[in-house]
Amino acid sequence: MIYILKGHDLRHAVEEMILHLLPTVITEQAETEKGDYCISKLEIDGQNAKATAIVRIGDRIEQKSKEAILPNADELANKRVLTEIIKLSIYNAIMMFLDKAPEWGSLTGVRPAKLARGLMDRGLTRAEAAVQFREKFGVSAERTALTMRAAAYAQNTIELLPENSVSLYIGIPFCPSRCAYCSFVSQSIEKSAGLIPPYVDSICEEIKRTGEIVANSKRVLSSVYMGGGTPTTLSPEQLEKIMLCVRNSFDMSNLIEYTVEAGRPDTITAEKMQAIKLGGADRVSINPQTMNDEVLKNIGRHHNADDVIKAYEIARKTGFSVINMDTIAGLAGDTPDSFENTINTLIGLNPENITVHTLAIKRGADLYDKEANANQYSSVKTMLDTGSKLLSSAGYGPYYLYRQKFTAGGFENVGWCKPNTENIYNIAMMEEIQSILSVGAGAVSKLVDLKTGKITRFVNPKYPKEYMESSERIILGKQKLFHVF
């Protein structure tokens, strides 16, 4: 499908809404109005603004408009209103071609719980915010309830975090091999084992310098999260080295939690678990993605479901207080029944946290193959809904929630937890309620101003080699970000 902008250049809003509703590939064009298209037109007359969307799919053309009065408070406020009417006009026009509204209605944002908290901050009660979700955005009852529960966890976390606290993220972008669905820049060790020792040295130096930034800016460290990639691709000695460096570089007396994402079960050994525990972590994540051996093969994993159970038992024996297990709904060859079996097996193991991700629905699908699209959508929806029901009745609550951008249906990823075991880092990062200092290739540091809501970022170079060659520039960037010189 092509899209054409007339009278505005808010292409991001247009792209976001089309991709939210249709499993298509889009390109912008200046004029051609042949084939499938979406024309987004904006007319402004004084304070009156009118957005019109004209959408053609096949032989049918639909047109919808949305009007608003501009607040004229500032440029940003005006832009917010214009974005909203542009999106709604497109939503209403495309909805004329669809049989059913998406679960998240017209909401395209990745952080629905943050939006709900924003409504409550502006004076709405929880019930009123839920009504807005249902009536204004057309969000389903299930997704509205999920959002409100996640918003409550975020609110509790805000109260729990010490004043002026930060979290530390440590990125290890290596994996034993590459999973078929991976969109991350992780390097498989088959190709890049030689990079690991110098990478560990570089990350230790960055941790040390980041510790100085935290101390000099009078902040306190509340949580540490080592993620990837697969951190347990490293040897026990390399893990020990990094974790010792963290202890030597930061005041750990305010630490609430320390998580290491062990990740793939085929990398987990008793020695590594021991090194992680002795290094100071109290939480690990083991990520089977599915407990169906066939599906594991399809996604290129070199382990089976039994290996997951063995890895879980090693982690339990090592004595971690919280274990998380990740799953993905919608993997190649998975079915709602087999996904239900995965969730039931994991509930049977009794980890404190279970995370349910959704695989992005493939782009480029045939727009006219309505049946295939509907099947894919409804199979993922069934998996997620079944997962929600099973986890809720097993005593887990949805403690954090985010949605994938630019995916048809825009389904959600949800972290579920047993009471009082929520991962504070995940909530703080996803809800943007705390500043995060991140180290490693591709790591993103964020300075969050809770009063104004302003977020400033600093992004480390993406690839390990480039990262290792840029240490001084990275530290300077972070010092600037946190106003420490």
Residue 440 binds ligand SF4 (CB under 6 A): no
65 pairs with which residues across the strands?
52
Pick from 230, 285, 423, 445 the residue near ligand SF4 by CB under 6 A: 230
CB of 342 to ligand SF4, least distance (A): 17
What are phi and psi for residue 29, nearest 5 degrees?
-135, 160
Nearer to ligand SF4, 23 or 228 (CB): 228
Neighbour tally for 457: CB within 10 Å = 13
Q: Are 330 and 375 in contact (CB under 8 A)?
A: no
Give residue 406's region: left, alpha or beta (phi > 0; psi -120 to 50): left
Pick from 227, 231, 236, 263 the residue near ligand SF4 by CB under 6 A: 263
Residue 288 binds ligand SF4 (CB under 6 A): no
Residue 229 binds ligand SF4 (CB under 6 A): yes
Nearer to ligand SF4, 175 or 391 (CB): 175
Residue 161 structure tokens: 């975090």
Q: Can you tell me the distance from the alpha carbon of 57 to that of 422, in angstroms, rounded to the nearest whole number?
A: 45
Neighbour tally for 300: CB within 10 Å = 12
Residue 1 binds ligand SF4 (CB under 6 A): no
Neighbour tally for 372: CB within 10 Å = 12
Residue 178 binds ligand SF4 (CB under 6 A): yes
Pick from 24, 144, 155, 186 the residue near ligand SF4 by CB under 6 A: 186
CB of 407 to ligand SF4, least distance (A): 16
Spatial neighbors of 62 by CB under 8 A, at least 6 apart, are 54, 55, 93, 94, 96, 97
Determine the 3-state secondary structure of 321 from DSSP.
Answer: coil
Contact window for ligand SF4 (CB under 6 A) among 2-10, 18-26, 171-179, 448-456: 171-179
Q: What sign does the CA torsion over 426, 432, 433, 434 have?
A: positive
Q: How far is CA 426 from the centre of its chain?
A: 9
CB of 312 to ligand SF4, least distance (A): 17
Amino acid code (one letter) for 99: D
Determine the 3-state secondary structure of 169 from DSSP.
Answer: strand
Nearer to ligand SF4, 175 or 234 (CB): 175
Give residue 356's region: left, alpha or beta (phi > 0; psi -120 to 50): beta
DSSP 359: P
- Distances from the Cα of 37 to the Cαs of 92, 97, 155, in angstroms? 15, 13, 42
Nearer to ligand SF4, 263 or 336 (CB): 263
Nearer to ligand SF4, 250 or 411 (CB): 411
Contact window for ligand SF4 (CB under 6 A) among 75-83, 176-184, 381-389, 403-411: 176-184
Determine the 3-state secondary structure of 88 from DSSP.
Answer: helix
Residue 187 binds ligand SF4 (CB under 6 A): no
Residue 116 binds ligand SF4 (CB under 6 A): no
Contact window for ligand SF4 (CB under 6 A) among 22-30, 182-190, 428-436, 472-480: 182-190
Contact window for ligand SF4 (CB under 6 A) among 17-25, 227-235, 416-424, 438-446: 227-235
Residue 182 binds ligand SF4 (CB under 6 A): yes
Q: Can you tell me the distance from the alpha carbon of 432 to that of 243, in angstroms, rounded to the nearest whole number?
A: 25
Q: Can you tell me the distance from the alpha carbon of 148 to that of 151, in angstroms, rounded to the nearest whole number?
A: 5
Nearer to ligand SF4, 184 or 368 (CB): 184
Pick from 5, 113, 175, 441 the residue near ligand SF4 by CB under 6 A: 175
Residue 297 binds ligand SF4 (CB under 6 A): no
Nearer to ligand SF4, 289 or 421 (CB): 289
Chain positions contacting ligand SF4, by CB under 6 A: 175, 178-179, 182, 184, 186, 228-230, 263-264
